[in-house]
Amino acid sequence: MNAATAAMEREMNKRATALAAFAGIMLMTGHPAAAQDAGTQQATLIAPDRGSFDEDVRLFRKDVRSLKKQIVSANLELTDTEAEQFWPIYDQYTAEMVRIEDKKFELLKEYARDYNTITDEQADAYIKGRAAVEESILQLRLKYLPIFRGVLSGKTAALFTQIDWRLGLVVELQLASQVPMIEP
């Protein structure tokens, strides 16, 4: 094995370890929006008090953002100059992403609230709303790619986008595992 291959394997192992740690934390500490009763497939809120549930979700999302930032930091090898330029843009990007994700969590709360009595129209609205959120997330990533590219090399900007995308998929998988499917 040559030096370049060994370095690439070490880098891939570092990234895989960070993603595995993130996934493990997500799976161990997740605060699901709804739980699925195996017998009746009814959505029930985990927290009896809606206010405390909302606060739990808010704190969990804040923790996830902090962990994502740590993973990004550990996997992007930025010079001091790049870091000075990148992190303010990253924070702006994250703030915009939070606003989009707020819409997703509102849709999930409505879905959980209406699950037992959901109508065809509500089911359509939920699916269309989630699709609109996913489209907004993709559009935000595409909007910021040239902005990140303005302060990072093309490869580093692409690497950030890949990391962000994968971490988003881990969060989405955790959410999907906690939300019951619509019963016809």
**Residue among 135, 111, 112 at smallest CA distance from 123:** 111
Range with the lowest mean pLDDT among 51-55, 100-104, 119-123, 165-169?
51-55
Rounded to an integer, what distance in angstroms lies between the CA atom of residue 184 and that of residue 149?
46
The pLDDT score that the predictor gives to residue 9 is 54
Q: 36: helix, coil or strand?
A: strand
pLDDT digits (tens, 9 = 90+) for 63-95: 888 999 999 999 999 999 999 999 999 999 999
Question: Residue for token digits 């009763």?
Answer: 37
According to DSSP, the β-strands at 35-36 and 43-44 are antiparallel
pTM over 0.75: no
Please give the share of the chain, as a percent, with pLDDT higher than 90. 60
